[in-house]
Amino acid sequence: MIELDKMTLYHVLESSSKNFADYPSLSFVDGVPLTYRDLYAKVKEISHILSQQGIVKGDRVAILSENKPNWGIAYLAITTMGAIAVPILPDFHANAVHHIIRHSESKAIFVSESLYSKVEDVDANKLETVFLLEDFQLVPKQTKKDMLEEVVKEGLKEFNRLRDAAMHLGKKNAFIAQIEEDDLAEIIYTSGTTGHSKGVMLTHKNIVFTGLATIAIVNATKTDRLLSILPLSHTYECTLGFITPFIAGSSIYYIKKPPTPRLLTEAMMKVKPTIMCSVPLVIEKIFKMRILPKFTHQFVMRNMYKISTVRKKLHQMAGKKLMESFGGELRAFAIGGASLTPEVEKFLREANFPYCIGYGLTETSPLIAGTRPEDTKYRSTGPPLKDVQMKIDKPHPITGEGEILVKSPNVMKGYYKDKERTAEVLSKDGWFRTGDLGVFDDDGYLYIKGRSKNVILGPSGENIYPEEIEAVINETEYVLESLVFEQNKQLVARVHLNYDWLDKELDCMKQSESKSEQCVKDLLENLRKHVNEHLSSFSKLARIIEQTEPFEKTPTQKIKRYLYIES
């Protein structure tokens, strides 16, 4: 069991560098891993440089970059010197990036060269120091993107001077940070737009508590290998995919380019990960695009697949091949960030694939419920973590469903500069209102029913959960994803179809444009009738609309519902 003198990232760094000094820590897939000893030295070096640039405890320092080893080095350098990290999602628009920098009052930023254009026009009086994350070089003020190549090529004398001074100081006197558990470690912005920005304030204790609790679930050790595929700027990957394995002494690998299916497969064969963090969309796409078509392509096989015993056998065979494609050594595939479809979870269970589902929010650092792969229950996120209190507020007298409230060491300190919003979700005695609806079974396992703001009232006051209807729709082989909402007091669904499947399986799609359009209309109407056969009378769909383009999603691949709901 890992023990720390204090739950701070400073003590995590000290502990891991001491206990796992010669073990690999961070690396690109084809790179040479930094040992924990080397990483410690680099973190100290960058902390000193930040200090010499005037960064002190409590200052905010932003990070805007794709995943790479230097992201983690920058994050630890900021937080272990007492400053506050402000991770920014790479996909945010430049306007959103500017807003976050202004709102957080960040004094410095670590930015990758490819994203530099998003910060080059930020007021230099507000953003005093800019580092390129590729090699931590300082960028002179007013440097334009087309000048970066020269800056990178020739290097900067000022950076070299600061680095040499920092290394000399590091040898003479180790950098000592006076950090307490309740000090802020990071501010995570859940949105970049001015109207919706919420800067979630997470303390050192919030993050380290979650890291330690997660280790107990996945049994992470110094021999484990992780392949990172989610953005480090989101608390899911930052805490569970970075801090958790860092505490345990595991090694973490990053892909240099966006993880296409081919690159991801190649990376998994090279790394042979033992643990991975993922969102449902990744495994759902694998199932619907690669696995399911093999079982349903031919008429005979499609009918055989409907037989339970045959389906389970086929799933077991597919599970073995899936494990091989992941490198063959995977023992914990953690899924979170959104709801996993019942069809895919059923496959994972029957395939004996080592999946586990966690539940949490950015405001809870993020994990508050989950369990080991061998202890999962179908459709459940698992029980609350140790030392996490949960209760159902105003449970329904029959179903027991109600809003999930949480009180735990990993609940946020509040929203940055927003006391009003903080008071709406966080009570004076520490209970956080998640906004999610759920129910517990007799074993204490939590089942999520949906978001409270998404609930639709039926004709007689019944609670209709769009997510449950979407789960039924998504079981259809030619549906990739869907969204259910209320329109003119009727239930309507938007559906994004698997057009590759349609082109291969339906002759009518190969004819004229008008016949293809009619083919899709007939298909959607038949889908509506089929889905309604599996729904209660008060939750039947009035119509289904074709969503021709994939839905726009959040960083954890949840559909941005507000963009598609029609009044």
| Homologous superfamily (CATH) for 9-246 | ANL, N-terminal domain (3.40.50.12780)
- Residue 164 has a pLDDT of 60
pLDDT at 289 over 50: yes
Per-residue tokens: 2: 């890992």
Confidence check: pLDDT of 280 > 50:
yes
CA angle 94, 139, 86 (to 5 degrees): 50
Lowest mean pLDDT among 140-154, 290-304, 403-417: 140-154
Report the distance separating Cα 555 and Cα 54, nearest Å: 33
User: Residue ranges per domain, the chain?
Assistant: 9-246, 257-407+427-452, 456-563
**What CATH code is assigned to 257-407+427-452?**
3.40.50.12780
pLDDT above 90: residue 92: no
User: What is the average pLDDT across 237-247?
Assistant: 98
Of the ranges 88-92, 189-193, 342-346, 401-405, which one carries the lowest mean pLDDT score? 189-193
Between β-strands 432-440 and 60-64, what pairing exists: parallel, antiparallel or unpaired? unpaired
What strand order describes the sheet that includes 543-546? 479-487, 490-497, 543-546
Residue 335 scores a pLDDT above 80: yes
CA 34 from chain centre, in angstroms, equals 25
Q: Which of 230-234, 308-312, 357-361, 452-456 has the lowest mean pLDDT?
A: 452-456
Residue 193: pLDDT band with limits 50, 70, 90: very low
Residue 177: band (very low, low, confident or very high) from pLDDT cuts 50, 70, 90:
low
Q: Of residues 330 and 503, which shows the higher confidence score?
A: 330
Domains 257-407+427-452 and 456-563 share a fold: no
Determine the pLDDT at residue 462: 80
The span from the CA of 543 to the CA of 15, in Å, is 58
CA angle 55, 177, 387 (to 5 degrees): 115
Specify the CATH architecture of the domain 456-563.
Answer: 2-Layer Sandwich (3.30)
Burial class (CB in 10 A: 0-12, 13-18, 19+), 210: buried
Q: How confident is the model at residue 191 (pLDDT cuts 50, 70, 90)?
A: low
Confidence at residue 57, expressed as pLDDT on a 0 to 100 scale:
96
Tokens of 163: 């680095």
**Statement: residue 394 has pLDDT above 90:** yes
pLDDT tens by residue, 437-474: 999 999 999 999 998 888 898 887 787 889 989 999 99
Q: Please indicate whether residue 162 or residue 295 has the higher confidence score (pLDDT).
A: 295
- Residue 182: the pLDDT is 98
What tens digit of pLDDT does each residue of 118-173 get?
A: 998 887 667 889 999 999 999 986 666 666 666 555 555 555 555 665 555 544 44
pLDDT at 173: 43
Average of per-residue pLDDT across 49-72: 97
Question: Does 60 have pLDDT greater than 90?
Answer: yes
pLDDT score at 196: 60
Please give the residue that has the higher pLDDT: either 275 or 153: 275
**pLDDT for 513-539, tens place per residue?**
888 999 999 999 999 999 999 998 889
* 271-278 average pLDDT score: 97
